[in-house]
Chain A
Amino acid sequence: DAMVIQNPRYQVTQFGKPVTLSCSQTLNHNVMYWYQQKSSQAPKLLFHYYDKDFNNEADTPDNFQSRRPNTSFCFLDIRSPGLGDAAMYLCATSRGGQGNEKLFFGSGTQLSVL
C-alpha cells in the first residue's frame, strides 16, 4: 500500500546531540511537511517542501533544518536538541495544487531528549 513511513518510531537523544528523523513516501506527492506535536496539542507546522522549494514557518527555530534529496525522502535535522524539543514529529504529504489539500500522515517519531 502507498503510504508515508517515518523512522525510527522512537528516538532518544542527548541534550545538544544532533539528531535526524527520516520520512519516506510512496505516494509520489509533490508536497512534504514536518509538524511538531507536543502532548496531544495541535500539530504545529515547522516547514514544508513543494517539490524542491523549501518553505520555512516564521517561528520555526534555526535549530531545525530539513532536507529533501528527492521526491520520496525528507529529513528533519535538529542541530542541538533541547529539552523543549521533546515531542512527536509528524511527517505528512499532499499532492499539491488546487483541490488537493488532503494530508497523508506518517505514524510519527516520538523524540525524547535526555
Chain B
Amino acid sequence: AQSVAQPEDQVNVAEGNPLTVKCTYSVSGNPYLFWYVQYPNRGLQFLLKYITGDNLVKGSYGFEAEFNKSQTSFHLKKPSALVSDSALYFCAVRDVGSSNTGKLIFGQGTTLQVKP
C-alpha cells in the first residue's frame, strides 16, 4: 500500500536558521511527490513537486526539497527560515491508480514554528 509519513508533529527553528521538514514515502513504481503548505484557516497551497529529473527541486517562497530514492525520502528545506514560514506543511504522493488526476495521499502534516 502506498503511504506518506511525516515523522515530526512539530519543528521549531529560530528565524534565520536553516529548516528541514521530513517526509518518507512508500509507493510501488516511480513516485510523484509534492509539498503543500497550509496557513491557519486557509486551504492548502502548492509549494513544489518532484516527478523526474534533478533530485533537488526548487519551489515557492525559497523552499526546496531533495528526493532521495535509496532512503525513500523527500525532505523539505529552506536555507534561512522566516517567521512568516510558520504554518502546517503536508507531504503528499500521487495515488498510483490515478494517472490522469491529482488524486493525492497526504501525510499527517508537520507544524513549523519559526521564532524571532
Complex interface bits, B47-64 against A, C-beta within 8 A gives 1, otherwise 0: 001010000000000000
Q: Is the CB of B99 within 8 A of A98?
A: yes
CB-CB under 8 A from A102, the residues of chain B are: 34, 46, 49, 102
Count of B interface residues, CB-CB < 8 Å: 25
Q: Is the CB of A106 within 8 A of B43?
A: yes
Query: Is A73's CB within 8 Å of the partner chain B?
Result: no
Given known pairs A42-B90, A50-B100, A92-B43, the reply for A101 and B111 (CB within 8 Å) is no
Q: Is the CB of B43 within 8 A of A42?
A: no
Complex interface bits, B29-47 against A, C-beta within 8 A gives 1, otherwise 0: 0001010100001111110
Residue of B nearest to A104 (CB): B46
- Partner of B100 from the list A33, A42, A96, A106 (CB cut-off 8 Å) is A96
Count of A interface residues, CB-CB < 8 Å: 28
CB-CB under 8 A from B22, the residues of chain A are: none
CB-CB under 8 A from A90, the residues of chain B are: 43-44
Query: Is B115's CB within 8 Å of the partner chain A?
Result: no
Chain B contacts to A: CB under 8 angstroms = 32, 34, 36, 41-46, 49, 51, 88, 90, 94, 99-104, 106-109, 111
